[in-house]
A and B are shown apart, each in its own frame.
Chain A
């Protein structure tokens, strides 16, 4: 099993839809979790950190499920501008350096 796995998609959704992505990780000792957004031909930028209790930032909600070893990102009321690749990053207990998933592509259409 790969250390961090994501469904590459693409997820093709209409404006206004709700869409959710999951990211599974293999190391149960993982401590820190992040979602990054990467626009086409641009660098990744932090979207949000994922806390044990879950966290919300506007239309975006991130959750952690330690028992099943995955994090999720929920986007409500999708906008055209949400079209991007969403990378999850998981820090394992040993090196503290995050391992990135391959990303999930989201395309929001009119």
Chain B
């Protein structure tokens, strides 16, 4: 199993550009999450999904959108990139919502200039 995969690994965007961060998992997990991690800080939840077709906002959703058309994929869309979105983005999945380990992808390092 590849686990959770993310692409791209690195990206530099100009202010106002848009992009999609890809995330896929092959563990048949229903629950998927997007976090951002700023230097020296913990993980902040952007969006999460409890199954295909169902998504909900986390703590810091502004400037982002998500979709979940399949169990495997959970892309994160950045519209009109801003310098404040410079961060490391981690996608994660879990088999259950409560009391379960989260498996993280390797992350995407995004810089907005």
Contacts and interface: CB of A to CB of B under 8 A. Distances in A.
Residue of A34, A89, A97 with most partner-chain B CB within 10 A: A97
A59 interface: no
B105 to A, nearest CB: 6
- At the interface, is chain B mostly helix, strand, loop or mixed? loop
Interface stretch (A12-20, A62-70, A73-81, A98-106): A98-106
B107 A43 contact: yes
A44 B104 contact: yes
A99 B90 CA distance: 14
A100 B38 CA distance: 13
A87 interface: yes
Interface of B: 33, 35, 40-45, 48, 58, 90, 97-99, 101-102, 104-107
Interface of A: 4, 6, 8, 31-32, 34, 42-46, 49, 87, 89, 91, 96-103
